[in-house]
Amino acid sequence: MLDPKTFDSRDLRYKEPYGAVPSGTKVSLALRPPRTSGFSGGVLIAYFESTRERREEIPLTWDGIDGDRDVLRVTLDTGHHVGLVWYSFRLDGLDGRKEELGPYQLTVYDGTDQVPTWLGEGVTYQIFPDRFRRTRVPDPTGMVGGRTVHTSWREEPEYRPDANGEVRNRDFFGGDLKGVMEKLPYLHDLGVETIYFCPIFEGPENHRYGTGDYEKIDPMLGTEENFRELCRKAHRLGIRIMLDGVFNHQGYVSRYFNGDGSYPEQGASQSQDSPYYKWYHFSHWPDKYDSWWGIYSLPAVNEAEPSYREYIFGGEDSIVRRWLRAGADAWRLDVADELPDDFVHGIHQAVRETNPEAMVIGEVWEDGSTKIAYGVRRKHILGGHCDGLMNYPFRNALLSYLMGGDAAQFKDTMETLRENYPPFAFHSAMNFLGTHDTPRIITLLGYGGDGQEHDKDWRASYFLTPEQYLLGRTKLRLGALVLFAFPGSPTIYYGDESGLEGFEDPFNRRTYRWEMADGLLHSWYAKLGKARKELPSLRRGKLIWGRTEGKVISFLREGEGMPVFTAVNVGKDPESVEIPWPAKDWMTGMELPRGPVALPPMSGWLLIPYQPR
């Protein structure tokens, strides 16, 4: 077995440049086997993964001695390749033996696209529109979907199946765009620079992920003019708007499929002469068709159909373009890995043509550099597709650490992403602890799990005990500290900053109880938002790891303005942390000396340099 110090792809002495590289880069690789192992030479084996796959073998060249080790070098020319390169080494011993090392991943991306940096620099706030704030109790008469409206904002969302055994999500609370406008000063004071809206287009369900009409703001939310006004007011406060584009599937109740006849024009389910008929895959018209995950109410779209592409992004007045012109600044692509690569590329091109500063973010739950969907390695972050992804690996790793895992595992997961992702994708990632698809973070941390050992009725009615809430809040403050200090956009799911509780959907989608907000937790988030806005190193600085073992995570951000040092201890005992300079804690004002200092249990610091007078 080879000595572990023979090669380290994350060390510049072995591989330069670090991590992913633009196409055309020549990558320098060096092996350092012990002299005593008696290797006389070897080869680099590089497998270029793309539509035209190829394999190369390049001899290693002896380049002298480094202490008690031989140095063997080779240069890998990426040429015009865009995609993954899997490389490994075969070493030849003087005694005729052969040793294999690898494989390792090299991500080669198209570096010609200039990716805007604004998203990854600032704080993002996710809003589930029906549950954020309402300015009136709406009348659902005449609206699609057979809706009901909760008269009290403090009622619980419906989760039980109806008489037909379906959970239809037709109960609305009536959150609206005017309510968001009322809270723009609140979001600004929280440090928010981007609002990410779950779908706001007309749709029959309260989540609106089964789009009814891409051209129309849902009437319960308001009008197109309300949206334009919201964008204008947000922009004046330095806040950008990201829309949710659900282009892989639509609603059974929609102007395009029109399964229940709610819309006046003929949809695909009513006539094969409908202009929308080719948008769907019918195995037996009109009652058997492809749908998202087999859910009949979400018919899947044929993204290869030219008329659909023209409607979504190709035409001058296509959906992607028209809402950017109306004031939006970015699109988040729902289930991006279920959209064909060339479809995503078409959206990206339309976005950049309409506004060179606009961005495309993809929903992907895994490492986006290695994602395979429908048997195809996806091009999400190779350039010209997604500018960043929702960072579920970050959430999973940080949640594991907060719930008792080892800090070293968090670091390793993040270093894997940093090594595999192009810099633009790593820094434009949407980092978060919770979304509309995950249980509320304070509930997970306080309860210690997702409650799946109990039935749904139990989870519907469960709220944390005072002791559990205190534990959840303490851990959440530490998680938020890491979230706001790490590269990528710290993303807040509405209400997490104020202690909103709940297990899975729909309990994680309760209304924002403004009068019940946790002031201490909110104040913590507001201080972190201020730090993210005012400290350039948190916005653009490079990442340098400190101590990451056991219960302690520490790291430095530097290179832009004053450096910032973050340290967190989730253990039950004090831990020694090496502070690089005399410091002041941004969160508490406490002054700390340079050198080893005891970090108390269940606490954290956000430190900036400080010279006492």
DSSP secondary structure of 533-572: HH-HHHHHPEEEEEEEETTEEEEEEESSSS-EEEEEE-SS
Nearest to 562 by CA among 543, 537, 592, 591: 537
- Is the N-terminal amide bond of 17 cis, ω within 30° of 0? yes
Element containing residue 442 per DSSP (H, E): helix 441-443
**Burial class, 317, CB count within 10 angstroms (exposed 0-12 / middle 13-18 / buried 19+):** exposed
Same domain, 233 and 345: yes
pLDDT tens track for 161-172: 998 898 999 999
Task: Read off φ and ψ for residue 201, nearest 5 degrees.
Answer: -85, 160
How far is the CA of 341 from the CAs of 183, 384, 396, in angstroms?
A: 37, 10, 26
Domain count, the chain: 4
- The reply to whether 172 falls in a domain is yes
Classify the phi-psi angles of 589: left when phi > 0, otherwise alpha if psi is within -120 to 50, otherwise beta.
left
Residue environment code for 458-483, b if the CB has 16+ CB neighbours within 10 A, otherwise e? ebbebebeeebbebbbbbbbbbbbbb
CA distance 605 to 583: 10
- The reply to whether 218 falls in a domain is yes
pLDDT tens track for 314-356: 999 999 999 999 999 999 999 999 999 999 999 999 999 999 9
**Burial class, 453, CB count within 10 angstroms (exposed 0-12 / middle 13-18 / buried 19+):** exposed
Which comes out higher in pLDDT, residue 2 or 92?
Answer: 92
Instruction: Tell me what pLDDT residue 164 has.
Output: 87
Question: What value does the mean pLDDT of the chain take?
Answer: 97
- The reply to whether 526 falls in a domain is no
Structure token digits, residue 463: 């709220």
Structure token digits, residue 484: 């706001």
Residue environment code for 201-219, b if the CB has 16+ CB neighbours within 10 A, otherwise e? bbbbbbbbbbbbbbeebbe
Instruction: Tell me what pLDDT residue 520 has.
Output: 98
Inter-residue contact 416 to 178 (CB < 8 Å): no
Angle between helices 466-485 and 519-534 (to 10 degrees): 0
Residue environment code for 261-298, b if the CB has 16+ CB neighbours within 10 A, otherwise e? ebbeebbbbbeeebebbbbbebeeebeebebbeeeebb
Instruction: Tell me what pLDDT residue 599 has.
Output: 98
Q: Which of 109, 138, 168 is the last residue of a domain?
A: 109
- The reply to whether 14 falls in a domain is yes
Task: Read off φ and ψ for residue 475, nearest 5 degrees.
Answer: -70, -35
Instruction: Tell me what pLDDT residue 50 has.
Output: 79
Same domain, 222 and 255: no
Element containing residue 241 per DSSP (H, E): strand 240-245
Q: Which residues pair with 84 in a beta bridge?
A: 49, 107
Query: Listing from the earlier edge strand, what are the strands of the sheet with 61-66?
Result: 15-16, 26-31, 69-77, 61-66
Same domain, 392 and 484: yes
The parent domain of residue 16 ranges over: 4-109
Q: Kindly tell me if the per-residue pLDDT of 100 is higher than 70.
A: yes
- The reply to whether 54 falls in a domain is yes
How far is the CA of 261 from the CAs of 83, 283, 302, 431, 451, in angstroms?
A: 46, 21, 21, 41, 40
Q: Kindly tell me if the per-residue pLDDT of 51 is higher than 90.
A: no
Same domain, 403 and 476: yes
- What does the pLDDT average to over 241-267? 97
Structure token digits, residue 114: 């200039």
Q: Kindly tell me if the per-residue pLDDT of 612 is higher than 90.
A: no
- What does the pLDDT average to over 374-388? 96
Q: Which of 87, 109, 131 is the last residue of a domain?
A: 109
Same domain, 504 and 545: no
Structure token digits, residue 209: 């992920």
pLDDT confidence bin for 547, thresholds 50/70/90: very high
Instruction: Tell me what pLDDT residue 556 has.
Output: 98
Same domain, 99 and 183: no
pLDDT tens track for 213-237: 999 999 999 999 999 999 999 999 9
Q: Which residues pair with 558 in a beta bridge?
A: 542
Q: Which residues pair with 194 in a beta bridge?
A: 124, 240
Same domain, 90 and 197: no
How far is the CA of 596 from the CAs of 91, 565, 576, 612, in angstroms?
A: 43, 14, 6, 18
Same domain, 163 and 292: no
Task: CATH number of the domain at 572, please.
Answer: 2.60.40.1180
Same domain, 254 and 339: no
- What does the pLDDT average to over 97-104? 94
Task: Read off φ and ψ for residue 571, nearest 5 degrees.
Answer: -85, 180
Same domain, 469 and 543: no
Nearest to 480 by CA among 494, 495, 497, 468: 497
Instruction: Tell me what pLDDT residue 399 has.
Output: 98
- The reply to whether 128 falls in a domain is yes
CA distance 71 to 310: 56
Apex 429 CA angle, 86 and 452, nearest 5: 95
Structure token digits, residue 613: 């007078």
Q: Kindly tell me if the per-residue pLDDT of 412 is higher than 80.
A: yes
User: Model pTM?
Assistant: 0.97
Contacts of 376 (CB under 8 A, 6+ apart): 341
CA distance 55 to 61: 19
Instruction: Tell me what pLDDT residue 224 has.
Output: 98
Task: CATH number of the domain at 199, please.
Answer: 3.20.20.80
Angle between helices 392-402 and 407-420 (to 10 degrees): 170
pLDDT tens track for 446-505: 999 999 999 999 999 999 999 999 999 999 999 999 999 999 999 999 999 999 999 999
Structure token digits, residue 301: 């779209």
Same domain, 466 and 339: yes
Q: Which of 442, 475, 510 is the last residue of a domain?
A: 510
Same domain, 213 and 281: no
- The reply to whether 315 falls in a domain is no
- The reply to whether 323 falls in a domain is no
